[in-house]
Structure 1
Amino acid sequence: MTTDQDFEIFVVTAPGLEAALCAELQAAGFRDPTPGLGGVTIRGGWPEVWRANLTIRGAVRVLARVAAFRALHLAQLDKRARKVAWGELLRADVPFRVEASCKASRIYHAGAAAQRIERAIREELGAPVSKEAEICVKARIDDDLCTISVDTSGESLHKRNHKDAVHKAPMRETMASLFLRQCGYDGTEPVVDPMCGSGTFVIEAAEIAIGLQPGRSRSFAFEQLASLDPAAWQALRGAGGGATASPASPAIRFHGSDRDAGAVAMSRANAARAGVAELTAFRHHAVSDLTPPDGPPGLVIVNPPYGGRIGEKKPLHPLYQALGQTLLARFSGWRVGIVTTDASLAQATGLPFDTPAPPVLNGGLRVTLHRTGPLP
């Protein structure tokens, strides 16, 4: 494969956030973004794969769809897998592994399908197979059509190497960035999170405001592929992924608070590692002590506790009521976004919510973003 090839690229996100990711990809200039279940398909070549990994905040991982063929039985799968130009894609000296899934197909044993493709690659290319390999070839056999993809990201893209410390029930950076987008945040207004945990919303907002690339501090699986052009990749990385930085006005700051002093300390340390300490402020106080920062109104966004089990929600109602009362009394002109599992908790705030965003799975729980317009 060469860098000027054109193929399908599937950018994965949490189900429910496909439209928000599609909007981000469109704004970033990627070609033909089309939302589907669990992600968005774009078209391009290897430079687009690299840029998506480096710059797209809502991407969980980026899959390069490198081949597709019909396979009605395992022998045919073996034969057609050997015709893929593995030498242009994988390196003979780098271990790989294969994951397969089968749906509505005559080949129904995913483990046997993975073994056949593994053997075909090993014998054609000579690369070693390892269960721990970062390079993962994914085969999806759906209605007898086998689609071969390579996971170009490696570790999930929410792992940005800035957050050493995490609070309980952390919000993933990828999800936080898309919730910010769904609230209309574009980097030009202040953001307040009154239950900041490990600081994810605040840090994401600050990074967006000054144009810091989410993948700037980490490595990616594609750096170990035969398709990598090291000079082109370093040029892209050095140019900030093709995005222009737009430093925030000194008047704009990003604020977090929490009643847990340990969470505040974590947030400050995480913001320093991310390079946004000067733009952020974290304070230790209760929701009822929250006051708006000086300057123009912006966005209050919060991921409050929501009680994972039945019977845990009722004691949380007073917390949500206190949050709503504080915001209605002091945050006139500010918009609000609240992430929660239960509409009754959102309603307990008394805030004038618009139609909620689609539900999203977060850590096994189905959460919904509730949003307001500017508060009266």
Structure 2
Amino acid sequence: MTQHAPFDIFLVTAPGLEAMLCAELVEKGFAEPVAQSGGVTIKGGWPDVWRANLEIRGASRVLARIGSFHAVHLSQLDKLARRFPWGDILRPDVPVRVDASSKRSKIYHAGAATQRIETAIREELGAEISADAAVQVRARLEDNLCTLSIDTSGELLHKRGYKQAVAKAPMRETLAALFLRQCGYDGTGPVLDPMCGSGTFIIEAAEIAAGLAPGRSREFAFEHLVGFDRAAWDKMRAPRAPRTTDLRFYGSDRDAGAIRVARDNAERAGVSHLTQFQQCPVSELEAPDCKPGLVMINPPYGTRIGNKTALQGLYRGLGKTLMTRFAGWRVGLVTTEVSLAKATRLPFGAPGPYIDHGGLKVRLFVTGVLE
């Protein structure tokens, strides 16, 4: 792998949302994205890696495939890892950590494989191995093929850089962005969240409408790799004037603390002028004085049967408010149970696929325009 030859770049997302991520990559002009289990592969160079980290909302990580070789026993892995041109990618003065996984391979002990690759990097390159290093090498052993990747993101990409506090059960920004896309949201209409928590859906929607890059306020692991061009990166991420929009994005919650957090997050994200947050129970919610748009909700789920039974009333009240006061709006609702979605009596279509969210399996339910 050279610094200029195209290579595979794999963008990780939650299984079930690969098609949404693929659509985002097409929209952003990345060449020939191919959806695979757990993500999307594109081909490109290092500037494409940088831009993917900067601009793509739905990916949780961006992995650069840096090479591969066949290995059927640990001694062979050791020899080939020592021959690998680590110095083309990794800097000897930057600590590295290694994570290996094994599937259907004769080298089945992932820990032993990790140790061999760590030793090769330390002894051949001279880099320190550290468990908390920003730069991570990933080795996937599958069918006796060892594929090496660099995690170019560092911290997970849902960490946009503006959240200092979150409310209970927060939705990750990457999932929120793809759920908005799954609802057909494209930044041209208002969004309202009546259970907004720390404001994730509202801030994501406002950023999309304003054309703000999600990675504009954070650092990335690729900044510590060989060949990183600081001047080119600074030019790519240079602040651009937000798109002018008359849209507003509305969040409400019965919890005053959540509203304070949401307002602070919107301020740090630079979209406070586009957002309005108010303390308000769902029963008192009124449609804002604007053209109809999308109501996007991530209500409480309940993880025990008793909790789910008690939540039926909450969902019924939510559905009644939306059906009686939000004619012309569409609704997207994320929940774990079909029974909870049905309790709203909203006209949902077939639910989306199950998506892992905080150890729970959730699905997105979407209506057409409410009458």
Give TM-score scaled by structure 1 length.
0.97
Gaps of 5+ in 2: none
Q: Determine helix, strand or coil for the equivalent of 2:222.
A: helix
Q: Determine helix, strand or coil for the equivalent of 2:69.
A: strand
1:247 aligns with 2:206: no
Which residue of 2 is the match for residue 202 of structure 1? 202
Which residue of 2 is the match for residue 75 of structure 1? 75
The one-letter code matched in structure 2 to 1:95 is P
Which residue of 2 is the match for residue 354 of structure 1? 349
Distance 1:294 1:188 in 2: 16
Distance 2:364 2:41 in 1: 24
Aligned 1:256-295 pairs, distance under 5 A:
256-295=251-290
* 109-118 vs 81-90, greater mean Cα deviation: 81-90
Distance 1:247 1:115 in 2: 53
* 1:3 positional shift: 3.9
Which residue of 2 is the match for residue 23 of structure 1? 23
Which residue of 1 is the match for residue 97 of structure 2? 97
Distance 1:192 1:3 in 2: 45
Aligned 1:314-325 pairs, distance under 5 A:
314-325=309-320
The one-letter code matched in structure 2 to 1:32 is E
Q: Determine helix, strand or coil for the equivalent of 1:313.
A: helix
* 1:231 positional shift: 1.6
Q: Percentage identity across aligned positions?
A: 64
Distance 1:126 1:288 in 2: 63
RMSD between superposed Cα atoms in Å: 1.2
The one-letter code matched in structure 1 to 2:243 is S
Which residue of 2 is the match for residue 170 of structure 1? 170
Give TM-score scaled by structure 2 length.
0.98
1:157 aligns with 2:194: no
Aligned 1:1-376 pairs, distance under 5 A:
2-238=2-238, 245-248=242-245, 250=246, 252-376=247-371
Distance 2:45 2:222 in 1: 13
The one-letter code matched in structure 2 to 1:294 is D
Distance 2:53 2:265 in 1: 21
Q: Determine helix, strand or coil for the equivalent of 1:141.
A: strand
Structure 1 runs of 4+ aligned residues shifted over 4 Å read: none
Distance 2:232 2:261 in 1: 37
The one-letter code matched in structure 1 to 2:217 is S
Contact in 2 for aligned 1:2/1:227 (Cα 8 Å): no
Distance 1:310 1:317 in 2: 11
The one-letter code matched in structure 2 to 1:195 is M
* 1:183 positional shift: 0.4
Distance 1:214 1:309 in 2: 35
Deviations 1:168-210 (A, max 9, x none): 1000101000000000001110000000000000000001100
Contact in 2 for aligned 1:102/1:109 (Cα 8 Å): yes
Gaps of 5+ in 1: none
Contact in 2 for aligned 1:22/1:34 (Cα 8 Å): yes
